[in-house]
A and B are shown apart, each in its own frame.
Chain A
Amino acid sequence: MNTEILSVGLTFLVTILPAIPLGRYISKVYKGEKTLLDPVLNPLDKLIFKSTGLDANREMNWKQHLYALLTVNMVWFFVAMFLLMNQGWLPLNPDSNPSMSPHLAFNTAISFLVNCNLQHYSGETGMSYLSQILFVTFLQFVSAATGLAAAAMVFNALKERTTEKLGNFYNNFVKSLTRILLPVSIVVALILAFNGTPMNFQGKDQFISVQGDTVNVSRGPAAAMIAIKHVGTNGGGYFGVNSSHPLENPNYLTNVTEIIAQMIIPLAMVFAIGFYLKRKKLSWMIFGVMTLGFLMLVIPTIYSEIQGNPQIQQMGVDQRAGAMEGKETHIGAAASAYWSIATTVISTGSVNSMHDSSMPISGMMQLLAMMTNAFYGGVGVGILNFYVFIIIAVFISGLMVGRTPEFMGKKIEAREIKIAMIVALFHPFLILVGTALSAYGITNLKDIAWLNNPGFHGFSEMLYEFTSSAANNGSGFEGLGDNTPWWNISTGIVLILGRFIPIIGPLAIAGLLATKKSIPESAGTLKTDTTTFGVMIFAVIFIITALSFFPALTLGPIAEYFSIY
């Protein structure tokens, strides 16, 4: 067990170290400076801009950025709906999987569009190879690039100058794709392919096992998709059980690779902002707050998974391996626990163990990770969520010490703070209202049988589904029978709101601030790159999350905890 914990610690370090140079590289990409990959990628970018007739140098204001972003997303939605509802007869479907029902297609299209990948279907039986490539892989690339392009605009707006012109959305979008997501994905995909993840176009294979059973094995073009699934913090599995599947995550090395792949860009974005604005201290402050939050979530989770289930302990077996229900032997309890928090703080939502079978404390930490949704966070959007908390913290601490609230030389006024508050409060609103409606349904309508577990844990299943949707995470307490019109449509709506409000809000705030007069730093300025201010942000995040979610958590995981210990 000690070696397992050491392995997890080592994994964390190995993730952080390359994030710093990658952050420097990302900042260069968005600034348009020279990078190592230019000779290969310049022609590719040129080809894209030429064939689309785009002018990469045309400067846009924040509204134009938003307009471009929303339009292109709308186009993808219709393409996706068409594909999913017709995959049954379209080519590249060797396993003859059926087309999706309209409500399942609606939910699936949206959940991939918004970088969530909630997956109310199962990959082996619910998707053709064409959909896995043209729908899943495609949206996993472009939805991640959408988030990155939005973050790049905010970076630009944070520069200390007064302007409306904040770069070009398409330029940021294309560069995020070709210069950040594509190179990292190729590396990850090849590591996976050489460790046993399939990348083929033949359908199921059949063999007779040692005991004489006839076994069919699902395969397909998995390696390419699983790479971008993590690099773009999408999280939608190729196979039904995601990275628990031995073909999707064949060994401990691929497990570490997939953890690094999903954490590295969100971490690098934290450092990128420092390089971009030449304020490294700001990066370290953000990194410190996020890491503190991450550790506070991950340590109790690892502890409770290693301890195992007290009810099984009472039966008298050897539980030194930890809580193994829903976990793979070759990954083990510690690395599964670590992954479960990595994937929930960062809005990936891929799983390498079944979260539904986690211990109550771990389940609560997974929920809290998505409820805060700002410790590292998804590609691009993580830093945007954190930006909202910075604005609120600047305002509150400004009031506390009697200074004008300023961030990066710009005055924060009523309009910005209103937007920030709406974004921050909309998240608990979506989660709690959705869960409350479902809980009403389950108690008052007799013929509903969504839940796989009775009692407090059943409540947690519903709470988790809406938390995961609102945070655009995509993991689930998968026991929940979620392929029904209610879950498909309600979470579909929550997904759209949970994606675009936290993008529109920060873009608007940054756009508005950028047009304001830049005030030079003076003795009266509240310093925002100090430890004190870091503590302040942490307190703001903690208070908002604790106040909004504590009652719901009490009904779910906390009550379950006291029922089994």
Chain B
Amino acid sequence: MKQHILTALRLTAICIVIFCVAYPALIWAVAQAAPGQGKGETILKNGKVIGYEKIGQSFTEDRYFNSRPSAVSYNAAGSGGSNKGASNPDYLKEVQARIDTFLVHNPDVKIEQIPVELITASGSGLDPHLSPKGAKIQIGRIAKIRNIRIEKLVQLVDQHTDKPIMGPDVVHILKLNLALDELK
């Protein structure tokens, strides 16, 4: 028994050296060459960090393309989904309320045009994307507030649409909104 425990302790020690020191150190060293040097890629505006590339932020004002609902209010020091089940009556009321609010803010939009992601919370609560539909449906509202022609905004959304080979097309909301602020 004593021999087994001693062996186990020595084995544990050497495994710690390999897998908790050498392995992370190797990945850390190589990651220095990665974008953002392994610290997370940031997006700058006027030389100041205005956001992280991968982390969605809360856009609720009417003059911006709004982001999806979030169960954690885009708190990037935590993360979380609503974890509401499909049959939960309180949850369904909340979704209905989101639809109603959206229609109030976007009076030109018909209910059957609202894409589902705009009224449901993401799993992380930090979703940085919208679908192209989710962005385009907000154009009418933004055009009115900012006094920009609709075609110009459609063009802007198209420019910011990523079309990966695999998986759904997405629009990065932060980059889109930064470009929107630049637009004259």
The residues of B that contact A351 with a CB separation of less than 8 Å are 123
**Most chain A beta-carbon contacts within 10 A, residue among B18, B76, B117:** B76
- CA distance in complex: A403, B127 (Å): 59
Q: Known contacts A137-B19, A354-B82; is A4 also within 8 Å of B167 by CB? A: yes
B77 at the interface (CB under 8 A from A): yes
The contact sample of 12 A-B pairs, CB cut-off 8 A, is: A52-B14, A185-B23, A186-B26, A196-B53, A200-B40, A207-B42, A207-B49, A207-B51, A208-B50, A217-B77, A332-B167, A478-B81
Q: Known contacts A210-B59, A564-B86; is A331 also within 8 Å of B30 by CB? A: no
The residues of A that contact B15 with a CB separation of less than 8 Å are 138, 141-142, 177
B183 at the interface (CB under 8 A from A): no
The residues of B that contact A189 with a CB separation of less than 8 Å are 27
Q: Give min CB distance, B17 to chain A, whole Å.
A: 9
User: Quick check: A219 and B85 within 8 Å, CB to CB?
Assistant: no
A211 at the interface (CB under 8 A from B): yes
Proximity bits, A309-330, B CB within 8 Å = 1, else 0: 1011001111111111111111
Interface residues on A, range: 35 or more
The residues of A that contact B1 with a CB separation of less than 8 Å are 71
Which residues of B line the A interface, CB within 8 A?
1, 4-5, 7-12, 14-16, 18-20, 23-24, 26-28, 30-31, 34-42, 48-61, 64, 68, 74-89, 91-92, 95-96, 99, 111-117, 119-131, 133-134, 164, 166-168, 170, 174, 177-178, 181
Task: Name the residue on A nearest B73 (C-beta).
Answer: A213
Q: A248-256, A341-349, A375-383, A502-510: which lies at the B interface?
A: A248-256
**Most chain B beta-carbon contacts within 10 A, residue among A3, A68, A201, A335:** A3
How many residue pairs, one in A and one in B, have C-beta atoms under 8 Å apart? 365
Across the A-B interface, the 10 shortest Cβ-Cβ residue pairs? A479-B83, A252-B167, A244-B123, A457-B85, A354-B81, A356-B83, A199-B38, A216-B77, A7-B166, A199-B31
- CA distance in complex: A193, B31 (Å): 6
Q: Give min CB distance, B21 to chain A, whole Å.
A: 9
Contact of B168 among A199, A332, A356 (CB under 8 A): A332
Contact of B19 among A47, A138, A253, A359 (CB under 8 A): A138
- CA distance in complex: A560, B56 (Å): 33
The residues of B that contact A287 with a CB separation of less than 8 Å are none
- CA distance in complex: A200, B53 (Å): 16
Q: Known contacts A196-B35, A330-B129; is A186 also within 8 Å of B84 by CB? A: no
- CA distance in complex: A205, B43 (Å): 13
User: Quick check: A246 and B128 within 8 Å, CB to CB?
Assistant: yes
Task: Name the residue on A nearest B164 (C-beta).
Answer: A252
- CA distance in complex: A309, B81 (Å): 17
Contact of A356 among B78, B85, B113 (CB under 8 A): B85
**Most chain B beta-carbon contacts within 10 A, residue among A76, A218, A460:** A218
User: Quick check: A315 and B95 within 8 Å, CB to CB?
Assistant: yes
User: Quick check: B170 and A330 within 8 Å, CB to CB?
Assistant: yes
Q: Give min CB distance, A55 to chain B, whole Å.
A: 10
A500 at the interface (CB under 8 A from B): no
The residues of A that contact B40 with a CB separation of less than 8 Å are 196, 198, 200, 205, 217, 219, 247
Task: Name the residue on B nearest A318 (C-beta).
Answer: B115
A98 at the interface (CB under 8 A from B): no
User: Quick check: A479 and B84 within 8 Å, CB to CB?
Assistant: yes
Task: Name the residue on A nearest B57 (C-beta).
Answer: A209
**Most chain B beta-carbon contacts within 10 A, residue among A215, A221, A454:** A215
- CA distance in complex: A246, B126 (Å): 7
Contact of A357 among B18, B49, B85 (CB under 8 A): B85
- CA distance in complex: A564, B128 (Å): 31
User: Quick check: A215 and B116 within 8 Å, CB to CB?
Assistant: no
A94 at the interface (CB under 8 A from B): no
User: Quick check: A357 and B84 within 8 Å, CB to CB?
Assistant: yes
Contact of B129 among A44, A329, A456 (CB under 8 A): A329
User: Quick check: B11 and A72 within 8 Å, CB to CB?
Assistant: yes
User: Quick check: B30 and A190 within 8 Å, CB to CB?
Assistant: yes
Q: Give min CB distance, B8 to chain A, whole Å.
A: 4
**Most chain A beta-carbon contacts within 10 A, residue among B50, B79, B91:** B79
Q: Known contacts A54-B7, A186-B26, A210-B174; is A240 also within 8 Å of B80 by CB? A: yes
User: Quick check: A309 and B54 within 8 Å, CB to CB?
Assistant: no
- CA distance in complex: A309, B34 (Å): 40
User: Quick check: B123 and A328 within 8 Å, CB to CB?
Assistant: yes
The residues of B that contact A255 with a CB separation of less than 8 Å are 167
User: Quick check: B76 and A323 within 8 Å, CB to CB?
Assistant: no
The residues of B that contact A7 with a CB separation of less than 8 Å are 166-167
**Most chain B beta-carbon contacts within 10 A, residue among A74, A219, A245, A308:** A245
The residues of A that contact B78 with a CB separation of less than 8 Å are 122, 124-125, 218, 240
8 A Cβ contacts from A67-118 to B: 67-68, 71-72, 74-76, 79
Contact of B28 among A68, A224, A479 (CB under 8 A): A224
The residues of B that contact A15 with a CB separation of less than 8 Å are none
User: Quick check: B168 and A329 within 8 Å, CB to CB?
Assistant: yes
Task: Name the residue on A nearest B163 (C-beta).
Answer: A3
- CA distance in complex: A358, B8 (Å): 43
- CA distance in complex: A71, B107 (Å): 68
A275 at the interface (CB under 8 A from B): no
The residues of A that contact B23 with a CB separation of less than 8 Å are 137, 182, 185-186, 224
User: Quick check: A357 and B82 within 8 Å, CB to CB?
Assistant: yes
